[in-house]
């Protein structure tokens, strides 16, 4: 019976994750900070020291995910590994919150509604305006190159998402692309975004909607799962997921929590 390894990781710190900026990014293509690049390099070193060598890699279509994966792969000497990129691994679409600061949105909507929009499993933030500079409708990356035929979803038309929506758009991609190498006993690296990591944790670990609401994902920290690939083609989780650097992951989770709790300046 083959053993497969899955590593899921949120990208390194981005320019808008920086606590001095503290904006919702969503599908906005925001670059990494120098700290974010260092986090991605450290993630690669952690994988190398743990003898985790990816055979297949998946990223979103956003630069902070792509660059984080490249940096980490460079550290493990695996820049040659095949990479598949998909909008289905993009961050949750934060609707009208994209490009806005967290403190400003908290002040506008109040604590309870703000936290519902940010962390609820099934409630979407207000939809982004079609004329917003942060709407992706005319972005060429979501045109013909992103039509994967997995379902009828058009990524150009998405205007807001909740975590339930993220799981729904992930499922067909996961089954078609990520599961096959795992069934072969390979090591798979997925470099994505905080809401996608939360979605995967919910499904893989069987967390409830209330439990996942309180999960905060650190930037640039690899989380590892090991599976047994059964003879009938199924995957069985061998042990709970683990952070390669639990202390750094705990500190990073507190930073993520603090971004949402920031008071208006």
Q: Which residue has the tokens 């293509």?
A: 29
Active site residue 51: no
Burial status of residue 263 (CB atoms within 10 A of its CB: 0-12, 13-18, 19 or more): exposed
Angle between helices 194-205 and 163-173 (to 10 degrees): 70
Please report the DSSP string for 17-33 in residue order. TSTTT-BB-TTS-PPBP
Burial status of residue 233 (CB atoms within 10 A of its CB: 0-12, 13-18, 19 or more): exposed
Q: How far is CA 168 from the centre of its chain?
A: 14
Catalytic option among 11, 75, 93, 193: 11
Cα atoms in the 13 Å half-sphere on the side-chain side of 167: 15
Residue 81 per-residue DSSP state? S
Looking at the DSSP bridge assignments, the partners of residue 217 are none
Active site residue 11: yes
> Quick check: 125 and 195 in contact, CB under 8 A?
no
Q: How far is CA 3 from the centre of its chain?
A: 24
* CA-based torsion, 258, 17, 73, 178: positive or negative: positive
Cα atoms in the 13 Å half-sphere on the side-chain side of 234: 4
Catalytic option among 13, 91, 93, 193: 91
Just list the catalytic residues.
11, 91
């Amino acid at each position: 019976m083959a053993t497969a390894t899955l590593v899921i990781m949120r990208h390194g710190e981005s320019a808008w994750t920086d606590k001095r900026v503290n904006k919702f990014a969503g599908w906005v293509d925001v670059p990494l900070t120098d700290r974010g690049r260092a986090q991605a390099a450290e993630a690669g070193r952690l994988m190398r020291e743990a003898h985790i060598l990816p055979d297949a890699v998946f990223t979103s279509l956003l630069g902070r995910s792509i660059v984080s994966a490249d940096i980490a792969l460079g550290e493990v000497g695996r820049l040659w590994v095949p990479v598949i990129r998909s909008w289905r691994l993009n961050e949750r679409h934060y609707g009208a919150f994209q490009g806005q600061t967290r403190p400003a949105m908290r002040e506008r909507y109040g604590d309870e509604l703000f936290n519902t929009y940010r962390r609820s499993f099934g409630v979407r933030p207000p939809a982004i305006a079609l004329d917003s500079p942060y709407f992706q409708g005319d972005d060429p990356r979501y045109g013909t190159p992103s039509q994967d035929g997995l379902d009828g979803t058009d990524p150009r038309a998405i205007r807001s998402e909740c975590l339930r929506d993220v799981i729904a758009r992930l499922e067909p991609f996961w089954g078609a692309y990520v599961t096959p190498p795992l069934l072969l006993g390979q090591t798979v690296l997925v470099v994505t975004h905080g809401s996608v990591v939360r979605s995967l944790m919910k499904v893989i670990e069987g967390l409830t909607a209330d439990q996942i609401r309180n999960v905060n994902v650190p930037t640039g920290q690899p989380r590892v799962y090991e599976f047994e690939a059964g003879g009938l083609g199924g995957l069985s989780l061998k042990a709970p997921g683990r952070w390669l650097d639990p202390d750094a992951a705990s500190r990073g989770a507190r930073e993520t929590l603090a971004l949402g709790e920031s008071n208006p300046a």
